[in-house]
Structure 1
């Protein structure tokens, strides 16, 4: 179970990272939905999950690369907004849980249609 301070940090990062992204000039990532932040080792490492469902599988590595290049600007934004001494190192990961959730919903719809036909 995570400490309250760590949960607060994750919650704050969930707000600040999209704000930081919105200040960037890259159209691919400036409005990218952030679905979660998972901090490890205190505030030293953070995995940032984004919804890449609007992009093809071939585009995702480019999105991750753009996010990695913007890492310094995101950190600067977070540091200025929070007054922290140190900002976590961000690792960006495509959140596929939304896709699997949608496919499960689709399966339920198909089952329901088959039941109603018989």
Structure 2
């Protein structure tokens, strides 16, 4: 791992701790429900994609949460910047993580294929 990659990983780790802390301090109770799963920073650490747990939220609820978080983004970035003494915080983009749902769909497809092969035999 190069020193640049180590810095990116360190920044991601710090943000993974600071972002939920900043969200919990927001005044809107609806936003405080959202859980941060992961954070991925760009190579230059100027952008960060924040992955959120979708729970059982409907697409409309997810859109509402994303809209609220986009409004709160400057406050969250300011909190991270002040806490770490950074000159600049990565610009955050919030998205709901759907990898678990996709992996479950893939598992279901594999199970269906296995069942069809078994039925043919």
Q: TM-score, normalised by structure 1?
A: 0.81
Which protein shows a greater Rg? 2
Task: List alignment gaps of at least 5 residues for structure 2.
Answer: 113-121
Partner of 1:11 in structure 2?
13
Partner of 1:98 in structure 2?
100
> Quick check: 2:5–2:43 contact (8 Å CA) kept in 1?
no
Q: Distance in 1 between matches of 2:65 and 2:87?
A: 28
Give the length in aligned residue pairs: 114
Q: Distance in 2 between matches of 1:103 and 1:53?
A: 16
> Quick check: 1:51–1:98 contact (8 Å CA) kept in 2?
no
Higher helix share: 2
Task: List alignment gaps of at least 5 residues for structure 1.
Answer: 111-118
Distance apart, 1:106 and its partner CA: 6.9
> Quick check: 1:33–1:51 contact (8 Å CA) kept in 2?
yes
Q: Distance in 2 between matches of 1:77 and 1:107?
A: 44
